[in-house]
Structure 1
Amino acid sequence: MLQIIFTILIGFVVGLLARWIGPGGMIQGFWVTVLIGVAGSVIATYGGQALGLYRAGQPAGFIGSVVGAIVLLALVQLFGR
């Protein structure tokens, strides 16, 4: 249970940073920001594994998660219209 709460909190922080740094001026709520952060972490993990930056089973770091969330926001801006 504590790991889920920790994941939500880290996802929120990553999502906030990505929205602050990234493109677009979308106004979103708490849960959307958490989902952006968590999805950014997943994108960074699998993308990093595909590029050979991470081994299988190794999660992305904090900076990688923020970069993944920014990429997600950019894709939403590009294809969301």
Structure 2
Amino acid sequence: MLHYLWMFIVGVVVGAIARFIMPGSEHLGLLMTGVLGIAGSFVGGFIARLFSQPADGAIVHPAGLILSVVGALILLYVWNHFVH
């Protein structure tokens, strides 16, 4: 249960950083900011695995937070330009 809470908290932080970097007119609440950050983490993880594999036994990829923000920025761009 704590894993999901921690995942949401990190998702909110990643989503907030992405929204700070790419401000716009979107009005995302706390829940959607968390969802943006969590989805951005999945996109960033996919991008990271395209270029390099984490070491055997590693829990997270070394560039995890940075690529999570990059993934959230990609999703925010898509949201602003294609959904809105």
Q: Could you tell me which residue of structure 1 aligns to residue 76 of structure 2?
A: 73
Distance in 2 separating the partners of 1:58 and 1:37: 16
Distance in 2 separating the partners of 1:53 and 1:14: 22
Distance in 2 separating the partners of 1:58 and 1:12: 18
Show structure 2 runs of 5+ residues with no match.
none
Structure 1 counterpart SS, 2:9: helix
Structure 1 counterpart SS, 2:27: coil
Deviation at 1:41, TM superposition (A): 0.3
Q: CA RMSD in A?
A: 2.0
The farther-off stretch of 20-29 and 4-13 is 20-29
What's the CA shift string for 1:7-50, capped at 9, x where partnerless? Answer: 00000000111111025221111110000000000000012212
Counterpart contact for 2:47–2:67, Cα < 8 Å: no
Is 1:12 matched with 2:15? Answer: no
- TM-score, scaled to structure 2: 0.82
Is 1:39 matched with 2:42? Answer: no
- TM-score, scaled to structure 1: 0.85
Distance in 2 separating the partners of 1:23 and 1:73: 10
Counterpart contact for 1:40–1:69, Cα < 8 Å: yes
Runs (4+) of structure 1 moved beyond 2 Å? 57-60
